[in-house]
Amino acid sequence: MSSVKLVGVVLVSHSAKLADGLAELVRELGGDQVPVIAAGGMDDGSLGTSYGRIEEAVREADQGAGVLLLGDLGSALLTVKTLLDEGVGKEARAVLADAPFVEGAVAAVVTASAGGDLEAVRAAAEEARLFRKL
């Protein structure tokens, strides 16, 4: 019996710790079924966004149902945009969400775990912009 393929989530951050930490936090929400891949920091461990890491993360997150990327700051999104423009992740159907990093990731993983398709997962992440916390 084939299992349902879930949308994967890639977390792009300037900080490896931030990306790893957020991944750890949201993985539980996905019941460990949703591929949540952290792509933070540069290869030498310094702060920054690494094209190579993101590319690799997209591959790892791809189960065949699409991949949603989230970024921490504007420059992370620029790197992802450039990467996607170059055609990286085209087969994996990788798309970038315009969403808050933490709240968007939570919304994305929860929606993905419920079997949401790529569009639903992206929409959920982007709706997180509207959430009030207090």
Partner 1 sequence: MSVEQRDADNPELNARFFLVWIGRIAEAIAEEKDRLTDLDAAIGDGDHGTNLNRGFTAVRAALEAKQPESPGAVLVTVGGTLISTVGGASGPLYGTVFRRMGKALGEAESVTVQDLAAAFEAGLEGLCKLGGANVGDKTMVDVFAPAVDAFKSAAGDGASAERSAFNLAADVAEAGARETIPRRARKGRASYLGERSEGHEDPGAASAALIWRALAQTAAAG
Name the site residues for partner 1 (rule: CB under 8 A).
Answer: 14, 42, 46-52, 73-75, 78-79, 81-83, 85
CB of 64 to partner 1, least distance (A): 26
CB of 73 to partner 1, least distance (A): 7
Residue number, 30 or 40, with CB nearest to partner 1: 40
Enzyme catalytic residues: 14
CB of 48 to partner 1, least distance (A): 3
Residue number, 30 or 100, with CB nearest to partner 1: 100
Residue number, 7 or 97, with CB nearest to partner 1: 97
The per-residue DSSP string of the chain comes to -PPPP--EEEEEES-HHHHHHHHHHHHGGGTTTS-EEEEEB-TTS-SSB-HHHHHHHHHHH-SSS-EEEEESSHHHHHHHHHHHHTTTTTTTTEEE--S-HHHHHHHHHHHHHTT--HHHHHHHHHHGGG----
